[in-house]
Structure 1
């Protein structure tokens, strides 16, 4: 995939700027040709142990005589390893900072076994208080409708990438899948967590219960996909490296359907970090080859840095096209205090809120239960459980199909925020909640009749910036005209890859406005970000223009709230999308009921997206012919002529066929332009030649007169001066 290759190169460049100041691990990643046995021999020859395969011919190694953590790299060991002919590349691994996205210190462990009244046939004691699944009235995630239709996640495998999984937990044991599990920290097949007095490794077990806790077994809680298989990868209870992340993300991709991750770079309001080269490749391999080529589904928690004014567009995991980034809503539908607002969030599930609001109920360590799971850590597994239900309904869905279904069915209702807007195709979207609360039943029903979306295309358009200064306490707006876009006619993800320098990175705010008028905040000011590093080709991503068309003027506004000058040096737009819109039958039923107004529009939200046969689509409306000042672009689509043309055959100024009343059509070298009539007369060759000749003669004549006048004046002045000196001399003699 062209998009994947471009993204891999981008992330390779982006992660280079993150390496400064990091500790080195005793581990290496190496590309060794010749197969596993050759890799083992080479590794052992130079004192390395082969820990496992990352990708075919890419291996994870560790050297026994190198410190687990060191400020200095192991140059000698690296040099010996790379001296081998079969070793094409090697890299000593750097230790990364990765944080779980729950709220330790704001939660309490609950080990109560109190029975509650039974509802809807479930005898699980916590079921009556699982408010986010059983409130009804549109105030929950509407999973019961899917269950009633027999959808429980059966046959779908979900793995939790975290700090371990209590595989013998009585509410998980029946659904535990060893093929979806591994211990990257202990280097064995057992993902059991390491126990300590503080239960610091409870996170993965809690997330797993949200997905696949067994239903109706008189124990604890119910997982959203209680018929699914659940596994765990223990990879956060130790030093995390790029190789460990890559191996975790690419574990058994033909068996595992969904990877759920509730962690990422520090949510401290000052970090800019993302996946390294190997983890990026793991994402790309997953979406292109996982699930027999349909693509692995990566569900990611959007981040808990709200109190620190963090922005999840500075997190390269949530800010990637490959992940389904999930935010949180409180029980009352408000934005939680920990939530990060950003334009890459796709949708929302419920989680914890303030102290008086209920939290998430799930399995806990020591074969126990908790009613206090929190943060976006709790939101991502709920989304992963819903995704498992959808895949049971239709396991032929691609990774992009799943994102389209999320966009089409998520509900803004009951979510309270001041930043809801209508985008260019009439969908409500928010920086806090994405497209809204996930609706499991609606997603399942849509998945059953879903037709795979057209192939993804990618279009890169570079703006001519040339070191644009952004003065202190002010802003600048740069425009980029997009006329053609390499088969991207209907947008999915949009990236603005930006390079800028600033004395204080946290003072920068960036807004992007689409040709349809949808304004998206790519970066909000971050009070704690004092870095001087700026951004280097950082891919700020937005999903707010989903379904819009890329053609027209894009506006990037950079605000500098600091006291010193900032400078914008590079801006490139990357558009991901399709040549045709998704099949009209892919819209939810409650939207397709209005699709046939006057027999013209087949697909609509608040504006028409596709017209019936024989009609042409322009500006959200259908007509039999393309309107004046437009032309038929392709199929049944109309597009605007150049502003100088009244009628045209294309978008350029040299493709006019008829002009406005004050202009005339001019033919030049096979091209046709419209020139205003008063200018047209000046552009006639003979007239212009005559006028130019007369003006030249007049100028020459005036120049000669001027020169003669200056010469005459100079002669007179010289004569007068001579006479004056002579007169003075005579007076002196007297």
Structure 2
């Protein structure tokens, strides 16, 4: 029986010996737990379960199982069953080919696969609650004043309160959390708990309650659920973004995670559950490349095709926490999928968190934790408690799920692709600081760190109200000619693919580049894809920890940066090998192709202007939207606004005012602009002008160069493109195309036509190192010359060796015979003296003897 913490303190105070014993017990218990985990991990990753595709229905599957000593564990899809062997060990290092062979030789079996355990990690961190104070009083929930990411206003939150005021609270929408369980009786969750959206896949029962241990390792799911649907105005803990939505939990991470476990979780009750939120994935260690298996992939496909009555299940995924290890979320097949809505994180200051991963598949961002001292996310916790320290992209995905639930409530006909379109059109890049913001070919800001920006709840709800579903999804595959191209260290290849026809796709959504290449060190590879409109995506950045030799085999690197662009024209794939000479090997490009998803006709809806809301520029002055605003308009409430469950707004908080109805404004084109978007960003400029951040410029600003597609013989719009980060000004995108350096840098000319900017301290260090190398080389050459000279002298002297007569008398005396039994040298024949003397390499002669010769 374990003592509570207060009882342990009494023991320590009253009986030191008992305290020692108690401490020893705790240490022993922790050792046993850790040892058990380690031992379990070393047992092996093959399980005693097989996924089997069977023709003929349930009775054939049951007969097959009975004949070969299996049990039917459960039915996964209409034709796929999971069979569990009765006598095999639960985990094994080696596969069981004999049992596999018995299954696949059955005439009704299409295929079978022994299930293997996958490593899946939760995307949060162990932290401590931080004392936070914030003076806002709107809800009566005790933690509401500290929920900075929902109530700061001034453009520094996700605009949730105006969405609530418009009547969107998530009511009628069902969200499930795929995680380690859900404390369904938590007082802040019990009202919104939905048993039909819950299941325990690990123990195969209907109860998703987490397994409790000493360190609360299974708190993750309960925390994520509270972000979505913690009840409001109940004087308990916090407030969920969609505080009237139904929430369920799937316990699937607290045990062996196989392909079948993932598929069963993703396919749970798809006609009842609207949104699946997942804050986990493969290891974020900077060296893993992994994704969904055959069964999980089928669960995704069937979810988006048949879920929600054919509108498609909405899967929201945390982008990953591998920033510290320089991981790239395009190596995670879950976030890199077209079927998931990938969400990244921003700190309370709008900066990139230390754990955040950058990749081209990230669609948008919500707030989460930052560095030490920055505030974190507040939500429900185990033991009916509350926490102020939920962290990582684990906290971002549930917030996004809640915001999507608000939009889905006001329009139940939204499809899974509609939701992504709404996110792209309404996300806000303002107040988010990243070095890689760019304008794509249709005038939208996009970043590898933040996607299209911070989710705007009210803008999403407002756009969703009258949303008409986008045209049907179409796709086309364009394969490049097969090639085997060597990529030496410190070099790259540029491969062009001219797309002249893409049937059914005129407006892009997702773009996949399927790449096959070999590499002696996979982490040295960088891959970039440029569209005909000039948008350049980093499909893969360097991963210093990835030393794998396996390369990539048709890995589908996905980007959302070309959303809305046209597919026709010249696509350029760049593959860089950043390997070091003498330490890493070469790489080889084998084959690649592009799969383009999109629509035949343009989705015609524009973002409703949020007239009357205060516009806020971001910290980077070059990164703001040009938005028409009207002052002095009377605020009016939407006709269908209702205030059920929402408290009255205080006049002392002007940023909480309900936005008025849109008022049509006359569209005025910016200077030099021929065509602009609905938000005022220029899409096409006059001659001799270049697009930069939605404006038309004659001269590009510092840090950018003028790119003219006509000079390169490609189609596109003239734009100002970013220089390499080391250049203040440049003539092109490479690091050796600098024309001016920053104040703390100096120009370095390694060869003709190349100019690099190096930090002054680094350049000085390099010059000193170069001088040391030259000095060392001079010493080595000098020693070689000295040895050569000495060798020549030895050879010359050996050819002119002195005769015996010229030997010193002392040496001749030593060669006389000894007497009286003493040891001595016998006299030698004259004929052998020359031989003996030639074996003596050096002989010092006196001046007199030299004169005698």
Same fold (TM over 0.5): yes
Correspondent of 1:59 among 76, 81, 95: 81
| Equivalent-residue separation in structure 2 for 1:423 and 1:373 (angstroms) | 34
| Equivalent-residue separation in structure 2 for 1:440 and 1:95 (angstroms) | 38
Q: Which secondary structure does the structure 1 equivalent of 2:403 belong to?
A: helix
Alpha-carbon spacing, 1:176–1:81, altered in 2? closer, same or farther (3 Å) = same
| Equivalent-residue separation in structure 2 for 1:507 and 1:595 (angstroms) | 52
Q: Which secondary structure does the structure 1 equivalent of 2:409 belong to?
A: helix
State how 1:409-488 maps to structure 2 within 5 Å.
409-488=426-505
Tell me what 1:195 maps to.
212
Contact 2:44–2:92 (CA<8 Å) still a contact in 1?
A: no
Tell me what 1:289 maps to.
306
State how 1:699-718 maps to structure 2 within 5 Å.
none
Q: Deviation at 1:550? A: 1.1
Tell me what 2:326 maps to.
309
User: Please, which moves more after superposition, 601-610 or 421-430?
Assistant: 601-610
Q: Deviation at 1:609? A: 7.6
Q: Deviation at 1:39? A: 2.4
Contact 2:51–2:114 (CA<8 Å) still a contact in 1?
A: yes
Tell me what 1:496 maps to.
513
| Equivalent-residue separation in structure 2 for 1:45 and 1:211 (angstroms) | 47
Q: Deviation at 1:89? A: 2.1
State how 1:528-539 maps to structure 2 within 5 Å.
528-539=545-556
Q: Which secondary structure does the structure 1 equivalent of 2:342 belong to?
A: strand
User: Please, which moves more after superposition, 567-576 or 81-90?
Assistant: 81-90
Q: Which secondary structure does the structure 1 equivalent of 2:309 belong to?
A: coil
Q: Deviation at 1:23? A: 2.0
| Equivalent-residue separation in structure 1 for 2:493 and 2:145 (angstroms) | 54
| Equivalent-residue separation in structure 2 for 1:89 and 1:536 (angstroms) | 23
Tell me what 2:137 maps to.
119
Q: Which secondary structure does the structure 2 equivalent of 1:244 belong to?
A: helix
Contact 1:159–1:181 (CA<8 Å) still a contact in 2?
A: yes
Confirm or deny that 1:577 pairs with 2:577: no
| Equivalent-residue separation in structure 2 for 1:597 and 1:322 (angstroms) | 38
Tell me what 1:560 maps to.
577
Q: Deviation at 1:117? A: 6.9
Structure 2: state its 5+ residue gaps.
1-42, 612-626, 629-663, 685-689, 692-709, 715-853
| Equivalent-residue separation in structure 2 for 1:569 and 1:42 (angstroms) | 43
Q: Which secondary structure does the structure 1 equivalent of 2:400 belong to?
A: helix
Q: Which secondary structure does the structure 2 equivalent of 1:295 belong to?
A: coil
| Equivalent-residue separation in structure 2 for 1:169 and 1:49 (angstroms) | 36
| Equivalent-residue separation in structure 2 for 1:597 and 1:485 (angstroms) | 35
Confirm or deny that 1:91 pairs with 2:109: no
| Equivalent-residue separation in structure 2 for 1:523 and 1:385 (angstroms) | 30
Confirm or deny that 1:377 pairs with 2:389: no
Contact 1:456–1:576 (CA<8 Å) still a contact in 2?
A: yes
Q: Deviation at 1:588? A: 5.2
Q: Deviation at 1:607? A: 6.1
Tell me what 1:74 maps to.
96
Contact 1:465–1:568 (CA<8 Å) still a contact in 2?
A: no
| Equivalent-residue separation in structure 1 for 2:562 and 2:274 (angstroms) | 28
| Equivalent-residue separation in structure 1 for 2:597 and 2:44 (angstroms) | 33
| Equivalent-residue separation in structure 2 for 1:93 and 1:483 (angstroms) | 44
Contact 2:133–2:145 (CA<8 Å) still a contact in 1?
A: no
Q: Which secondary structure does the structure 2 equivalent of 1:292 belong to?
A: helix
| Equivalent-residue separation in structure 1 for 2:318 and 2:227 (angstroms) | 14
Q: CA deviation digits over 1:618-647, x for unaligned, max 9?
A: x99xxxxxxxxxxxxxxxxxxx9xx99xxx
Higher relative contact order (CA 8 A, sep 6+): 1
Structure 1: state its 5+ residue gaps.
1-20, 611-618, 621-639, 645-734
Tell me what 2:24 maps to.
none
Alpha-carbon spacing, 1:586–1:595, altered in 2? closer, same or farther (3 Å) = farther
| Equivalent-residue separation in structure 2 for 1:474 and 1:252 (angstroms) | 51
| Equivalent-residue separation in structure 2 for 1:51 and 1:400 (angstroms) | 34
Q: Which secondary structure does the structure 1 equivalent of 2:366 belong to?
A: strand
Correspondent of 2:264 among 234, 247, 255: 247
Contact 2:348–2:368 (CA<8 Å) still a contact in 1?
A: yes
Correspondent of 1:177 among 191, 194, 210: 194
Q: Deviation at 1:428? A: 0.4
| Equivalent-residue separation in structure 2 for 1:175 and 1:471 (angstroms) | 58
Tell me what 1:693 maps to.
none
Contact 2:606–2:678 (CA<8 Å) still a contact in 1?
A: no
Q: CA deviation digits over 1:316-368, x for unaligned, max 9?
A: 00000000000000011100000000000000000000111000000000011
Tell me what 1:527 maps to.
544
Tell me what 1:158 maps to.
175
| Equivalent-residue separation in structure 1 for 2:437 and 2:595 (angstroms) | 25
Q: Deviation at 1:571? A: 1.0
User: Please, which moves more after superposition, 589-598 or 502-511?
Assistant: 589-598
Q: CA deviation digits over 1:463-503, x for unaligned, max 9?
A: 12511221211111111111111121111001110011111
Contact 1:22–1:96 (CA<8 Å) still a contact in 2?
A: no
Q: Which secondary structure does the structure 2 equivalent of 1:55 belong to?
A: coil
Q: Deviation at 1:595? A: 8.3
Alpha-carbon spacing, 1:108–1:589, altered in 2? closer, same or farther (3 Å) = closer
Correspondent of 1:280 among 279, 282, 297: 297
User: Please, which moves more after superposition, 75-84 or 168-177?
Assistant: 75-84
| Equivalent-residue separation in structure 2 for 1:589 and 1:469 (angstroms) | 53
Q: Deviation at 1:82? A: 3.2
Tell me what 1:43 maps to.
65
Alpha-carbon spacing, 1:588–1:60, altered in 2? closer, same or farther (3 Å) = farther
Q: How many correspondences in the alignment?
A: 592
| Equivalent-residue separation in structure 1 for 2:331 and 2:180 (angstroms) | 24
| Equivalent-residue separation in structure 2 for 1:389 and 1:323 (angstroms) | 18
Q: Deviation at 1:31? A: 1.4
Q: CA deviation digits over 1:76-133, x for unaligned, max 9?
A: 22233334333332211011111110113xx1268x9x9997722x111000100000
Tell me what 1:108 maps to.
128
Q: Deviation at 1:203? A: 0.4
Alpha-carbon spacing, 1:312–1:79, altered in 2? closer, same or farther (3 Å) = same
Q: Deviation at 1:382? A: 0.3
| Equivalent-residue separation in structure 2 for 1:446 and 1:384 (angstroms) | 17
| Equivalent-residue separation in structure 2 for 1:602 and 1:413 (angstroms) | 19
Contact 1:31–1:58 (CA<8 Å) still a contact in 2?
A: yes
Contact 1:408–1:588 (CA<8 Å) still a contact in 2?
A: no
User: Please, which moves more after superposition, 36-45 or 295-304?
Assistant: 36-45
Correspondent of 1:25 among 47, 66, 69: 47
Q: CA deviation digits over 1:624-683, x for unaligned, max 9?
A: xxxxxxxxxxxxxxxx9xx99xxxxxxxxxxxxxxxxxxxxxxxxxxxxxxxxxxxxxxx
Alpha-carbon spacing, 1:436–1:310, altered in 2? closer, same or farther (3 Å) = same
Contact 2:495–2:573 (CA<8 Å) still a contact in 1?
A: yes
Root-mean-square deviation (CA), in Å?
2.5
Tell me what 1:650 maps to.
none
Contact 1:116–1:125 (CA<8 Å) still a contact in 2?
A: no
| Equivalent-residue separation in structure 2 for 1:56 and 1:586 (angstroms) | 41
| Equivalent-residue separation in structure 1 for 2:479 and 2:161 (angstroms) | 48
Tell me what 2:661 maps to.
none
